[in-house]
């Protein structure tokens, strides 16, 4: 994480997602810019007909569906190893979760130590888990937002890289609030990837600090 890559080297990303893939699209768009220090090597989904895979194909990036197995919220251990193998096959250096709706277990995380990040639609540590924008609205929060964080063994609990706040309006529905949060997600996810790719971060315990 702390090693800056050489100016020519582009950090190789593997993106995992289960749904529409708008965050993946933001990464694809960022990677299409010549000065962006990362490239997407492979996009993998646990959902066979997920739109994120269409986005991959449209961008000419390898799209893989790897069936998740019998569990609903995690991958079977053998399946997890299939994900690891596919990512390694593409020499992935940073795994980006983009709406991947399953928890990754220790064996996966050990395969990419400090090299798995996630985008979450809330200002963590508030509202971990599912439909966090709805949790914020139902709780009566006045400020919602999004967080890019390192993935650890907990649920949405790893060190925080970048956050953005979004005001909750009296007129908001879950849908309108999520839409405004997503605008910020699409901005901060590429920003976080750039910071990592340029070696501009160091981790001290829970704190992720910018290098001088």
Per the listing, tokens 């995690």 go with: 74
Q: Does 158 sit near ligand GAR (CB under 6 A)?
A: no
Residues 109-128 within binding reach of ligand GAR (CB under 6 A): 119-121
- Give alpha helix (H) positions in 40-105: 51-58, 77-89
Conformation bin of residue 145: beta by default, left when phi > 0, alpha when psi is -120 to 50: left
Residues 15-44 that bind ligand GAR (CB under 6 A): 17, 19-23
Least distance from ligand GAR to the Cβ atom of residue 190, Å: 13
Burial level of 176, CB count in 10 A (0-12/13-18/19+)?
middle
User: Counting contacts by CB under 6 A, is residue 99 touching ligand GAR?
Assistant: yes
The CA-CA-CA angle for residues 92, 17, 182, to 5°, reads 115
Catalytic residues, which ones? 120
When the beta carbons of 68 and 99 are compared against ligand GAR, the nearer one is 99
What spatial distance separates the first Cα and last Cα of the chain, rounded to whole Å? 15
Q: Which residue is nearest to ligand GAR (CB)?
A: 99
Q: Tell me how far, at minimum, the Cβ of 39 lies from ligand GAR, in Å.
A: 19
What is the per-residue binding string for ligand GAR in 47-66, x denoting contact by CB under 6 A? --------------------
**Interface pick for ligand GAR out of 30, 44, 63, 98 (rule CB under 6 A):** 98
With H, G, I as helix, E, B as strand and everything else as coil, classify residue 122: coil
CA of residue 134 relative to chain centroid, distance: 19
Residues found near ligand GAR in the complex (CB under 6 A): 17, 19-23, 98-99, 119-121, 182, 185
């Amino acid at each position: 994480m702390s090693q800056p890559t050489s100016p020519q080297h582009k950090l190789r990303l593997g993106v995992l997602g289960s749904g529409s893939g708008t965050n993946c699209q933001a990464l694809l768009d960022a990677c299409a810019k010549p000065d962006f220090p990362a490239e997407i090597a492979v996009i993998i989904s646990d959902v066979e007909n997920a739109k994120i895979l269409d986005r991959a194909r449209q961008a000419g990036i390898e799209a893989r569906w790897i069936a998740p197995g019998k569990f609903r919220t995690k991958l079977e251990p053998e399946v997890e190893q299939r994900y690891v193998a596919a990512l390694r096959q593409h020499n992935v250096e940073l795994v980006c979760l983009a709406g991947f709706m399953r928890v990754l277990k220790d064996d996966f995380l050990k395969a990419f130590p400090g090299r798995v990040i996630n985008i979450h639609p809330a200002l963590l540590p508030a509202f971990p888990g599912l439909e966090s924008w709805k949790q914020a609205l139902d709780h009566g929060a006045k400020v919602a937002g999004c967080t890019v964080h390192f993935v650890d063994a907990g649920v949405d609990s790893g060190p925080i890289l970048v956050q953005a706040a979004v005001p909750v309006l009296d007129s908001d529905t879950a849908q309108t609030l999520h839409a405004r949060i997503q605008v910020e997600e699409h901005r901060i996810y590429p920003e976080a990837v750039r910071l990592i790719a340029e070696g501009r971060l160091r981790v001290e315990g829970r704190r992720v600090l910018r290098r001088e």
